[in-house]
Amino acid sequence: MAASKWVLIRPFFLILTLHSLAIYLFTRGFLLTRTELSSFSHCSDKSQSPCSIPSPTNNANASFLGDHPPKSGSNGQCWTRPAVDRLVIIILDALRFDFVAPSFFFEEKKPWMDKLEVLQKLASDEGMSSRIFKAIADPPTTSLQRLKGLTTGGLPTFIDVGNSFGAPAIVEDNLIFQLANNGKRVLMMGDDTWVKLFPHRFNESYPYPSFNVKDLDTVDNGVIEHLLPSLLRDDWDVLIAHFLGVDHAGHIYGVDSTPMIAKLEQYNNILEEVVQVLKNQSGSGGLHENTLLVVMGDHGQTLNGDHGGGTAEEVETSLFAMSLRNPPAPVATVLDKNYCQLDLDGKKICIGTFQQLDFAVTMASLLGIPFPFGSIGRVNPELYALTGRTWETHNQCAEKLGSHSNLESWMLNYVNNLCVNTWQVKRYIDLYSITSVIGLPAEDLLYINALYSQAQGSWLDIMKFALYSENGTHSRIMDNTTSVLQRQIDAYSSFLEGVAELARFAWTEFNLMLMVFGLCVMLTSLCVHLYSIRTVHALCKSYYPFSGSSTSLRVLTVIFFVAIRAFSFLSNSYILAEGRVASFLLGTSGILNLWFSSDTGEVAVENLLFLVLNIIIRFGMESGLSKETIGSGSSIVHSFGSTGIEKGWSLKLGLLELLPILALSILVVLIYIIISRNFFWKRLKYFYTMGNSLCCMLMSVHWIVESNIIAASEELKNFGKTFAPRIIYSIGLLHFVLLALSLTINKKYMVPVSNPTDALAIVATGMLSAWSSTILILLGRQGPNVALVCILGAWCITRLNWAAQVDAESGTATGPISNPMPVLQWSLLAVCLFYYTGHWCTFDGLRYAAAFIGFEHFNIVQQGILLAIDTFGVSHIIPVLSIPFLVISKHQISKKKQPDGLLFINLTQAFLIYGLITAFTTTLTIICVTIQRRHLMVWGLFAPKYVFDVLGLLLTDVLICVGSLFYY
């Protein structure tokens, strides 16, 4: 059998190789990032800009934009005159817009609204120097990408999502580099991602580990410890404080939860103290006389507390800015263009709009440092107007033009900033177009160049008219100064908005040749798949000739179902509804089973149970599994524990806590029955039975301790939260190792197995036993329920297809090729369970909390493995490794003794058909993202779907290869 074994196994490894090559080529072509230029901005670059015009004085190097020539490394003026002396940036990770904006701006008030009252009060009482903004982030909305976008002024790229846990240092020009390079002292505290992105750039830093989403307080407490004392020190120019509690509370408990509200109330108290300290030191000559406070989020979050995609809830965050140096009254003409409403006290609160793309260049402008070379943002006019110094006449050109009103002075200062801003963006676009592999479309570049020439030409004409006259004396811009400057502002803004629009549309480069090669290899793999199925089918026919007329309808039905699901990926709406589509097809297949069995006149109980299970799964998808059921803990229980209600909890809540344990007990009994029936190696049987029972006991301890319902000692809590999960992981690994050793060493200590079917049942049961406990604890309290649904669904699928899988005349078990319906149902059930457990094909669908079950500290390897097992456990690992039961069941009921090789030929057919279904749907996903690569939702929806599908395909191939080595 050794030779025939490798004949059957060889196609699996060939298909894995082809899929790996196809995905590698296509990914290299599809997930390219924009070219990151190595150029950096310097103060001396200013002399190259058209914003530096030699004035008609003896000093040919004088600039109309400043009092002195630019000097690199100076704390004074560089490209623009500094408008603030100190900058305090407080980042509240995953700060939703409705966390900050008053509730009367929304149709319905939610429990989490109006908790940051201090910001709303400041925006109401000091509206001329304080403002709330709706800040718009660019998807994908992972924290690393947002920090990179905020500091570089560029658009994020999808490939950076893969670095979210590695956080490689940013090599392109950025705001932090410019601060450090121009003598600004930067103090950072909080999320340690900052020190990974910008190593050796901070004068002082207090980083704290950021990836343990179950920890709501460590990072925040560390920031609180250092924040207030640091505000009273004078050894920094820029302070960055990054809080993480809201983000972690969202991931674990969701937005509408007691821990979330408690965090927002805590932040409100902290911000009150911060504002009080700043105001106390804001007097003339004070430490914060000219300080700007910015409180902002890096992205938003969904109601489930997740982020990473491009929905409105994820991209809409908040920014609050307050200047300690008040601007003059005319600031209202700039700020009151926003959306305003009256609060309950009759005071006006206005909400501005801020593109996060503009953050880096706006901060650089206010601090007087060079703009990051790759920035394509615009100096935000509203944020620029909040600071009092921007309303002062301070440049040489203004003096020559004569006296101006405050508004005209501000407009002139702002135009000067936009002039530099526009020149910087233009030189970046020019260099990018020359050095990039593909560059930007020629017609778009011509349009951008025309806008730039028009904007810069009109400004030069204004300056020449203002600075020169025929008799050599200075003339003045007449009474229409304001309108002339406004037109110039509009011209610069049109150019900058045009560049941003162009970048958002065509920023990511696509290597179409690599994409086509990858797609061709993928299509070739499908042909190899079909050829392998045909070859194995020919081997199957050598054991018995079978020609069934009734099976052709089943085969056509399966092909039709697979095609419907695959081609639905061409629509973004159907991708969003993929779980419901799979549930519909699964239910339809159950109804077809009823129709196919109508010839017998009997309706099996399994038919009805299968349809009921499908309704349960569909209901779970529709209702949406909440954080309470998905996580390992319950926010309801957490709230009781946090408020000390432990003695008087109701019977109903107690029963809710006991339900998962009851389901777990039922599951233990089922596992014992399965192991007892399928295990003939007595010693291993007892070990596996005891191991699984111990795992279930430890799971119960873990859930009870985390519930906080009962009073437990610190030792018991530490054991339940940390050591119990680790023991479960160790038992599962030990099961796997023992199974592998038992298949490779001498089996003289084992009871001999009577036939290959029994041997296959032993190995398959052992394999599932090794994985099941780990997957169960990662799924949390929903794990036992999901496992019961999975077991009952699998039992129904095998029972319903027994009759169709046995040739009535010969009594011989037919192959899965003659009736692939069970394999299709197996695949659809796996897809349904993926969505039933609260996952979905976007990065905000990753359940990060599962990666920290049993661990408190982040390690990219161990947390990555746990996250992968949680994500793909019930959708890939369990379904693929349990495929042998489809073959075992029909061989056990066959009337005649089966040939020894037929069992493994049928198993090969089942593996190949399952792999072909997965490969075909993934191929349509690849075709879909190729067609939709310029779609608005490409990075928010299509690209994540592609990543999940190709990873799932590779995992399926690997599991089939590993399973074949164990099972054959």
pLDDT per residue as tens digits for the range 606-622: 788 888 888 988 888 87
Top mean pLDDT of 388-392, 815-819, 899-903 is at 388-392
3 state SS of 656 = helix
Domains of the chain: total: 2
Q: Quick check: is 189 in a domain? A: yes
Confidence of residue 601 (pLDDT cuts 50, 70, 90): low
pLDDT for 893 beyond 90: no
- Give the sign of the dihedral formed by CA 379, CA 383, CA 389, CA 393: positive
662 burial (CB, 10 Å; 0-12 / 13-18 / 19+) is exposed
Residue 921 has what pLDDT? 95
Out of 221-225, 254-258, 802-806, 877-881, which region has the weakest mean confidence (pLDDT)?
Answer: 802-806
For residue range 333-390, list pLDDT tens digits in order. 777 666 677 666 667 788 888 999 999 999 999 999 999 998 999 999 999 988 888 8
Out of 25-34, 318-327, 806-815, 843-852, which region has the weakest mean confidence (pLDDT)?
Answer: 806-815
Q: In terms of residues, how long is the chain? A: 968
CA distance 925 to 498: 32
Confidence of residue 645 (pLDDT cuts 50, 70, 90): very low
CA distance 350 to 339: 5
Q: What is the pTM of this model?
A: 0.74
The CATH number given to whatever domain includes residue 77 is: 3.40.720.10
Numbers of helices and strands, H then E, in the chain = 36, 9
684 burial (CB, 10 Å; 0-12 / 13-18 / 19+) is buried
For residue range 5-25, list pLDDT tens digits in order. 778 889 999 999 999 999 999
pLDDT for 531 beyond 50: yes
CA distance 61 to 69: 7
3 burial (CB, 10 Å; 0-12 / 13-18 / 19+) is exposed
For the record, the structure tokens of 277 come out as 């300290």
Q: Quick check: 197 and 242 in contact, CB under 8 A?
A: no
Which residues lie closer than 8 Å to 825 by C-beta, 6 or more apart?
586, 589, 590, 797
Residue 547 has what pLDDT? 45
CA distance 142 to 160: 9
CA distance 10 to 17: 11
For the record, the structure tokens of 108 come out as 């319905």
Mean pLDDT of the region 323-332: 81
For the record, the structure tokens of 829 come out as 């059930």
pLDDT for 523 beyond 90: yes
Residue 233 has what pLDDT? 93
Q: Quick check: is 77 in a domain? A: yes
Give the other-Cβ count within 10 Å of 533's Cβ: 21
Q: Quick check: is 250 in a domain? A: yes
Mean pLDDT of the region 393-407: 57
Mean pLDDT of the region 631-660: 49
Main-chain dihedrals φ then ψ at residue 108, nearest 5 degrees? -135, 135
Q: Quick check: 184 and 89 in contact, CB under 8 A?
A: no
Strand partners, 340: 350
Among residues 362, 381, 403, the one where a domain terminates is: 403
Residue 603 has what pLDDT? 61
Q: Quick check: 374 and 428 in contact, CB under 8 A?
A: yes
Q: Quick check: is 88 in a domain? A: yes
Residue 1 has what pLDDT? 44
Nearest to 636 by CA among 75, 108, 254: 254
Mean per-residue pLDDT of the chain:
80
Q: Quick check: is 522 in a domain? A: no
Q: Quick check: 625 and 837 in contact, CB under 8 A?
A: yes
Q: Quick check: is 79 in a domain? A: yes
CA distance 939 to 847: 20
Q: Quick check: is 528 in a domain? A: no
Eight-state DSSP code of residue 749: T
Confidence of residue 663 (pLDDT cuts 50, 70, 90): confident
Among residues 381, 403, 425, the one where a domain terminates is: 403
Q: Quick check: 478 and 402 in contact, CB under 8 A?
A: no
Residue 633 has what pLDDT? 41
Query: For residue 894, what are the domain limits?
Result: 558-931
Confidence of residue 676 (pLDDT cuts 50, 70, 90): low
Among residues 365, 387, 403, the one where a domain terminates is: 403
Q: Quick check: 703 and 776 in contact, CB under 8 A?
A: no
pLDDT for 739 beyond 90: no
What b-and-e string marks burial along 14-45, b requiring 16 or more CB atoms within 10 Å of the CB?
ebbebbbbbbebbbebbbbebbebebbbbbeb
* Helix, strand, coil share (%) of the chain residues, nearest 5: 60, 5, 30
Q: What are the angstrom distances between the C-alpha of 418 and each of 84, 210, 319, 380, 897?
A: 18, 37, 22, 10, 85
pLDDT for 788 beyond 70: yes
Give the other-Cβ count within 10 Å of 182's Cβ: 22
Q: Quick check: is 824 in a domain? A: yes
CA distance 152 to 205: 20
